[in-house]
Homo-oligomer: A and B are copies of this chain.
Amino acid sequence: MTHNSTSTISVARAIATKDLRIEWRSKVLVNQVLPFAGIVMVLFAFALDNDGILQRVAPGLVWLAVLFSSLIIVQRTFAIESADNALDAIKVAGVSSVGVFLGKSVALVVQLLLFECVLVLLSLVLYQVHLSWGGAVLLVTVSLLANVGLAAMGALYGGLGAAAKGRETLLPLLLLPAVAPVLIAATRATESAFRVGGATLGEGWPWVALLAVFGALFSFGGTLAFGVLTEE
């Protein structure tokens, strides 16, 4: 009598669509987190504006801003589930937890990409960075790969925090050290893309490889671990 249980893919799609629709409807990230990140970058520019320091640290600032925004985005994406205890409802539905993990991750990747586009554009204007075509290609690749890693770790630890009620505290503690390597690799690669401190484009690509490894590792690990971390 019960419905046939749906496939992992369709669960993932339903969750990702729903998350993106909620963001589209509530615009919390666009209206709240994005201006926040923007103002962070403006204030940094104001605090550091002398002697070309700003250009030198611009890549680091961009990725710091991404990192903080990603923390808030992860928190928000699980706050949606806890608000009226939809998390329990999803658990009782007995659907594939891999599907839930993938859905959450995809929604996070999409939102992070949007953020990065805006933040990178902002940094080009605010920090007066010059970007060549080759640099742009490098930057896009870096963003994509870095996002996969950030999103996978975010979904994993965000899920853990939401499952262990009232322990959202754990999120930054777990997430920040875990994604620090991603941050560093992305910063170094962006330095090459922005050509700061005499870095050349060629120096950037090895970092991209590293990001790809992290992304793959984190997604794989997340897929395996999510069920264990969030259930019961």
Q: Interface of A with B (CB < 8 Å)? A: 26-28, 31-32, 35-36, 39-40, 43-44, 47-48, 53, 57, 60-61, 64, 67-68, 71, 166, 168-169, 171-173, 176, 180, 183, 187
Contacts and interface: CB of A to CB of B under 8 A. Distances in A.
B68 A40 contact: yes
A36 B71 CA distance: 10
Contact of A169 (B32, B172, B173): B32
A36 B177 CA distance: 11
- The interface residues of chain A, by DSSP majority, are classed as helix
Nearest to A71: B36
Nearest to A34: B172
A35 B173 contact: yes
Contacts of A44: 64
A12 to B, nearest CB: 28
A27, A61, A172, A176: residue with the most chain B Cβ atoms closer than 10 Å: A172
Contact of A31 (B36, B53, B67, B169): B169
Contacts of A47: 57, 60-61, 64, 187
A43 B166 CA distance: 26
Contacts of A36: 68, 71, 172, 176
A169 to B, nearest CB: 4
A60 B45 CA distance: 11
Contact of A168 (B32, B57, B168): B32
Contacts of A35: 172-173, 176
Contacts of A71: 36
A153 to B, nearest CB: 15
Nearest to A42: B176
A42 to B, nearest CB: 9
A60 B61 CA distance: 14
8 contacts: A27-B169, A28-B168, A32-B168, A32-B173, A35-B173, A43-B180, A47-B61, A53-B57
A40 B36 CA distance: 15
